[in-house]
């Protein structure tokens, strides 16, 4: 049987268009205070695809593991390289806020790459088999 790429069920309900709007929204507000909310909205608009890639699970796993570790390492690095400031609660609060802001850039990049790696709403399947269902 020949395998081809075709539009996933997600596109029939408009997720490709929504994801494109989310990408544009994130791009338009990059560097502003609303960027984190735009990235969170984008993240919330990505489900696991039935019979396809488990996008939501992969994003959640990245956020809970790799991104969390990155934030901890970034704070550790800042503290080690700024020993005089490390005891200043205001500096520590601002540093954590800056790390959190930057973490949204990492999450956005991960989501974009994940969608690209998975064909941005397309996945490999057997068209004949899908049409028979």
Tens-digit pLDDT profile for residues 23-35: 999 999 999 999 9
| 4-7/122-125 β-pairing | antiparallel
- How many whole angstroms separate alpha carbon 102 and alpha carbon 71? 9
Beta-strand runs (E) in the chain: 4-7, 122-125
Neighbours of 93 (CB within 10 A): 10
Q: Give the domain ranges of the chain.
A: 4-132
Q: Tokens 């069920």 sit at which residue?
A: 9
pTM recorded for the entire structure: 0.78
Q: What is the pLDDT of residue 122?
A: 47
Q: What is the pLDDT of residue 128?
A: 53
Tens-digit pLDDT profile for residues 56-98: 999 999 999 999 999 999 999 999 999 999 899 999 999 999 9
């Amino acid at each position: 049987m020949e395998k081809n790429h075709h539009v996933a069920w997600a596109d029939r309900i408009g997720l490709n268009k929504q994801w494109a709007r989310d990408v544009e929204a994130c791009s338009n507000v990059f560097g502003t205070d609303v960027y984190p909310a735009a990235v969170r909205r984008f993240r919330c608009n990505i489900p696991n695809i039935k019979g396809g890639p488990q996008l939501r699970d992969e994003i959640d796993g990245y956020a809970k593991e790799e991104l969390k570790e990155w934030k901890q390492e970034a704070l550790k690095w800042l503290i080690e390289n700024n020993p005089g400031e490390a005891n200043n609660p205001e500096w520590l609060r601002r540093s954590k806020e800056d790390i959190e802001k930057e973490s949204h850039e990492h999450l956005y990049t991960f989501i974009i790459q994940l969608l690209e790696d998975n064909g941005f709403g397309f996945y490999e399947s057997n068209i004949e088999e899908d049409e028979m269902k």
